[in-house]
């Protein structure tokens, strides 16, 4: 637990968010067309239908803890891109890129890439 808190603190020292407009994706009525990258600590990896989602915590620029949710594709698709039910562990630091953020202003986005602590990138490449 101490390790996790420390990791969250470290993540809070350097949260970085980049916003780049890109084309909207079909059917994402709830999402805008921004790309955001957030570094945080995994709290849960939910491997379910219809879509999987990654829960992670990060501090915003005011130091407030934000509970992020990154929505990703269905397990039956992700598995073919090297992403499995065991890809993420709670307590692990990840850098998550999301293309499309909640129009409601909620910290929820559609994941396009996750970088693991050792630098490995998990993504579907150019596919969605």
- Interface residues with other proteins (CB under 8 A) are 26-27, 29-31, 46, 48-51, 53, 69, 71, 74-77, 79-84, 86, 102-104, 106, 108, 120-125, 127
Tokens of 49: 């239908």
In the three-class reduction of DSSP (H, G, I as helix; E, B as strand; rest coil), residue 88 is classed as: coil
99 and 28 Cβ atoms separated by less than 8 Å: no
CB nearer to other proteins: give 13 or 23.
23
Nearest distance from C-beta of residue 86 to other proteins, angstroms: 5
Give all strands (DSSP E) within the chain, no chain letters.
20-21, 34-46, 53-59, 65-71, 93-101, 108-115, 121-123
Nearest distance from C-beta of residue 99 to other proteins, angstroms: 14
Nearest distance from C-beta of residue 22 to other proteins, angstroms: 17
């Amino acid at each position: 637990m101490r390790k996790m808190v420390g990791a969250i603190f470290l993540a809070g020292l350097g949260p970085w968010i980049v916003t780049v407009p890109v084309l909207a994706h079909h059917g994402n009525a709830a999402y805008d067309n921004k790309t955001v990258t957030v570094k945080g600590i995994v709290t849960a990896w939910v491997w379910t239908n219809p879509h999987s989602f990654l829960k992670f915590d990060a501090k915003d620029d005011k130091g407030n803890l934000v509970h992020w949710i990154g929505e990703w594709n269905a397990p039956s698709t992700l598995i073919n891109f090297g992403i499995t039910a065991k890809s993420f562990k709670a307590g692990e630091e990840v850098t998550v890129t999301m293309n499309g953020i909640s129009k409601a202003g909620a910290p929820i986005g559609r994941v396009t890439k996750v970088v693991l602590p050792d630098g490995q990138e998990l993504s579907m490449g150019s596919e969605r």
